[in-house]
Amino acid sequence: MAGLSASGLKTQIRSYTEVSSTVLSDSVLENIILNAQYRIFRDVPIDADRKTSTGNFTSGTGTVTVPAGAVIIRGVQVYTATGSTYTGANTYLEKRDLTFLEEYISATTSTGTPKYYAMLDTGATGESSSNSGSIIVSPTPSATFAYKIHYNAVPALLENNDTNYISMNFSNGLLYCCLAEAYAFLKGPMDMLQLYEQKYKQEAERFGGEQLGRRRRDDYTDGTVRIPVNSPTP
């Protein structure tokens, strides 16, 4: 399967379920497809969703707004240089619970290079949201240190695009996930719902193995993957 467009996916769902647009209208299918995309987003960490954002701390201010659309913060990198310089000496902040930082901040009034960070609030998530929450760092920055935030963003969705990474690179899994959602909406048949639920889980496992395994290794560092072959019994 070379990939699916949003319109092609709708046609496939109606064809597989043998249900017309009278029941599976465009608005119903758009909701089914949206639910499927969010399920895949949460089931499999996808490299295409990994983003970075750069900026500078404000001296004397310990909070930073995270990038719009950010769902998961994977790391915060702080550079000792000030200004928009993202090279040279740097360190990754240690993530702590907010209660740890509140205790740490109350125990010291010093400023300096941040060492810890915590999620302060979640904001309003969404692909076009301008507020995805903020983080708090400690010690409070003593200068306009440069920082880089590594995060996973809400993926581009088919409601706003004709194709996206999932529809072009995981089209079979997306279709099976949509069919499971469709049969749940249609209240059966249960055997078909279970069939496509199982097929989706099988494809998600393979796709996850690609994203978390084969895409994040190389022959030089990890060696070539070899399949063990047992010697014949003498």
* Lookup: tokens for 233: 């019994």
Whole-model pTM? 0.80
pLDDT band at residue 128 under the 50/70/90 scheme: very low
Compute the Cα dihedral for 178, 182, 185, 190 and give only its sign. negative
Q: In what order do the strands lie in the sheet containing 94-95? A: 63-65, 134-138, 116-121, 94-95
pLDDT band at residue 131 under the 50/70/90 scheme: low
User: In the predicted model, what is the mean pLDDT of the chain?
Assistant: 88
Per-residue pLDDT at 96: 93
d(CA 15, CA 179): 10
- Segment 155-197, tens digit of pLDDT: 899 988 999 999 999 999 999 999 999 999 999 899 999 999 9
* Lookup: tokens for 32: 């089914």
d(CA 162, CA 176): 19
pLDDT band at residue 123 under the 50/70/90 scheme: low
Tell me, letter by letter, the H, E, C secondary structure of 45-86: CCHHHEEEEEEECCCCCCEEECCCCEEEEEEEEEEEEECCCC
Per-residue pLDDT at 109: 66
- 128's CB contacts (< 8 A; 6+ apart) are 68, 69
Proportion of the chain above pLDDT 90, given as a percent: 62
Domain ranges of the chain: 6-46+156-217, 50-153
- Segment 141-166, tens digit of pLDDT: 999 999 999 999 988 999 889 999 99
